[in-house]
Structure 1
Amino acid sequence: MRSSTTTRTRTRTRSRLRLAGALAAVLVAAGVATGPVAQADERRGKEPTLADLAQRHGRYFGSATDNPELTDEPYKALLGSEFDQITPGNSMKWYATEPRQGVFDFSKGDEIVELARANHQKVRGHTLVWHSQLPGWLTSREWTASELRAVLKKHIQTVVRHYRGKIYAWDVVNEAFNEDGTYRETIFYRTLGPGYIADALRWAHQADPRAKLYLNDYNVEAIGPKSDAYHRLAKELKAQGVPLHGFGLQAHLALQYGYPATLEDNLRRFARLGLDTALTEVDVRMPLPATEEKLAQQADWYREMTEACLAVRRCVGITLWDYTDRYSWIPAVFPGEGAALPWDEDLRPKPAYFALREALK
């Protein structure tokens, strides 16, 4: 339970944030830089972006995107200017890259990579092995272990080799555990057993030895059964010499379920295993309608997540799961919820955006 002092401090902080955010929005709209960091950047003729601010801490600040959105020029311009990292939301998933067995299509993924290259942004590949969004040819039949092992190896190595040298990091295995820390009953786990994870990491490393290889999941931000399972697995894989370099915490949060207060401690324990960590798919949804109070609480959470990452040296970066409510996945999946991102549907910055800037300064 929060103390009354903490509550008063939070209330004052929120009030200051709303005032500062409103003032900054007016000044930014008028083309006036604000604050000591911005004043320093006036000499360069622009206010520092989130990426600029993150780079000063040795981090990246990124956004997911998806191909249909790239026809939206105002959206695309902000994507290219505010962020220094991109994650393709769908175009590198199995259904997109190998729609028929042995027939690969990299056109959509290549479009994202070329956009990133043009904007001098790094790319996180997402994702090689996942139970969802698999093509029908893979899920519509039973495979023997040797058959599926060969299919999995070919898929991973073909995709990773295609993007060799162009992808900074891969989410190699995505969402491998249930909430209680048991293995998820996927086609890969059922047929190949838990060893498929180590194999996937080894095959990806063979295909691109310089890429950082991650395990990635949601509801692992706090210390608990699910993140404990990943910690045990990571410890085992490292002991076996398996090429695992990082752990991705998706950070799809919701105001109604509470903030993961042990996030920073959780990041630290994975760092102690010699792993990088990253917040890979960040959004903070809320029951609609959005209110001033909810937006202020959301801003607090964005700030606290960012501060937790900055406090742990091996937390290398933060990626929003797209940056604007215009293209958020939340309303379609969680009816009655939304307003999850730092920019609204009209590409206007919300209190969360100014909270991110505050944390990064």
Structure 2
Amino acid sequence: MKPARLIMTLFTAVTLSVPLASTASAAPETGGHHDTLRWAAPRGFHIGSAVAGGGHHETQPYPDPFTSDRPYRQVLGAEFSSVSPENQMKWEYIHPERDRYNFGMADAIVRFAKQNRQVVRGHTLLWHSQNPEWLEKGEFTKDELRAILREHIRTVVGRYAGRIQQWDVANEIFTDSGALRTTDNVWIRELGPGIIADAFRWAHQADPRAKLFFNDYNVESVNAKSDAYYALIKDLRAAGVPVHGFSVQGHLSLDYGFPGDLESNLKRFAGLGLQTAITEVDVRMTLQAGGVPTEAQLRQQADYYQRMLTACLNVSTCCSFTIWGFVDKYSWVPVFFQGQGAATVMWNDFTHKPAYDALRSTLAGRR
């Protein structure tokens, strides 16, 4: 176990012994119930955020945001009707050793969601990244590896049966060229593409009420990668595999143009009888010296957020729009994209950027 993970595990064990407070009281910059994103949203439409924790946060000079930052929790509960664990349900976090699960943080998030009348998106069950060392470097037979995945899915999905609305079952299984990840995805490499259908079947058996999704980045447009998903999902559904949804992540950058065919792309997946969603939205930008965005950058960022949300709202099956964190100080972007940042809808003190106002006005316009 990494030293940082060990410290965080001990910290979490103590912190979670005290129930996380409900967030019915006013949170910073919410201005009251009627000024929040979740209030502005149309009935039945979920506006969500990732719950900061795990992953890159463990190397940063601050304690776990979800358990330590009360104002953060207040805003999370007040503003959003859906939450997604950012890292706390990924393999390396929730299944750190072959015979041991770490459910503490995932349990706390699900409990928090219930307290705040939120739904939960589970993330994620089959992925090539953030797997524990014991899994990636283990010398398992094909039968053993298949049994490990089946047991993991049944254990994790079954634990939260009836409490998770959507699951990202298979995450990022194609390259940008539309080829299956047969090199870096341990499951596909060792067990073949048929394991994808099995993962959906096992998840459905563990929780028949949860909606099961494919999820990926760079699939906002009609391109080789989204075409590969379209063909695969069409085949799987024809074979009776319980695939219920397709979601685009929405990690965009001002350095690139907006995916203008996002709406039409979502509509073609809806035409397969699927639910659709936008699940990990942020809009990063290259920052000048000092790290402060220009007014022009903030306007363009707000435009990108608004256009993504509008595309989702224009598709009848797109009922979930999730931003990948709402405050810059906990964003993953500066850690992974050198010189870039300011990707979320709030400043570090939880005051609103133009992007927040654009989301809220767009939601309110559809009530």
Pairing partner for 2:40 from 38, 53, 60: 53
Residues 1:129 and 2:115 are matched in the alignment: no
Deviation at 1:189, TM superposition (A): 1.0
Q: How far apart, in 1, do the equivalents of 2:42 and 2:191 lie?
A: 41
Identify the range of structure 1 (220-229 vs 143-152) with the bigger mean alpha-carbon deviation.
143-152
Which residue does the alignment assign to 2:57? none
1:46, distance to aligned residue in structure 2 (A): 4.0
TM superposition shift of 1:55: 3.2
Structure having the higher Rg: 1
- Matched residue type, 1:220: V
* Corresponding residue for residue 359 of structure 1: 362
Q: Which runs of 4+ in 1 moved over 3 A?
A: 28-31
* Structure 1 residue 29 displacement after superposition: 6.8
Letter of the aligned partner of 1:187 in structure 2?
A: V
The TM-score, its normalising length taken from structure 1, stands at 0.86
Structure 1 counterpart of 2:341: 338
| Alpha-carbon RMSD | 1.5
Residue 62 (structure 1) aligns with: 48
Aligned to 1:321: 324
| Contact 1:97–1:105, Cα closer than 8 Å, also in 2 | yes
- Superposed CA offset, 1:280-308 (max 9, x none): 00000000131100110010111111110
Q: Write the letter of the residue equivalent to 1:69.
A: P
Correspondence 1:75-90 to 2 at 5 A: 75-90=72-87
Query: 1:160 and 2:160 equivalent?
Result: no
Q: Secondary structure at the match of 2:41?
A: helix
Q: Measure how far apart 1:102 and its partner are.
A: 2.5
Structure 2 CA distance for aligned equivalents of residues 46 and 242 of structure 1 = 41
Q: Measure the CA separation in 2 of the matches of 1:330 and 1:79.
A: 19
Q: TM-score, normalised by structure 2?
A: 0.85
Deviation at 1:101, TM superposition (A): 0.8
Report the Cα offset of residue 66 of structure 1: 2.5
Match of 1:310 in 2: 313
- Give deviations 1:242-268, integer Å, cap 9, x for gaps: 001011111000010111111000000
Distance in 1 (CA, whole Å) between partners of 2:188 and 2:140 is 12
1:99 aligns with 2:102: no
Q: Gapped runs of 5+ residues in structure 1? A: 1-27, 32-44
Select the residue among 90, 112, 115 that pairs with 1:115: 112
Please tell me whether residue 274 in structure 1 is matched to residue 273 in structure 2.
yes
Q: Is the 8 A contact 2:30 2:78 kept in 1?
A: no
Question: Sequence identity, in percent?
Answer: 53
Q: What is the one-letter code of the residue matched to 2:104?
A: S
Label 1:30 to 1:272 Cα distance change in 2 as closer, same or farther (>3 A): closer
Residue correspondences, number:
320
Separation in 2 of the partners of 1:77 and 1:29? Answer: 10
Matched, 1:300 2:303: yes
Which range is displaced more, 100-109 or 170-179?
100-109
Which residue number in structure 1 is paired with residue 294 of structure 2? 291
Contact 2:30–2:79 (Cα < 8 Å) also in 1: no
Q: Secondary structure at the match of 1:55?
A: coil
Change beyond 3 A, Cα 1:100–1:46: closer
Deviations 1:120-150 (A, max 9, x none): 1100001111111111110113332212111
Contact 1:252 1:283 survives alignment (8 Å): yes
Contact 1:143–1:191, Cα closer than 8 Å, also in 2 = no
Contact 1:286–1:337 (8 Å) recurs in 2: yes
- 2:189 is aligned with 1:202: no
Deviation at 1:337, TM superposition (A): 0.3
Distance in 1 (CA, whole Å) between partners of 2:33 and 2:100 is 46
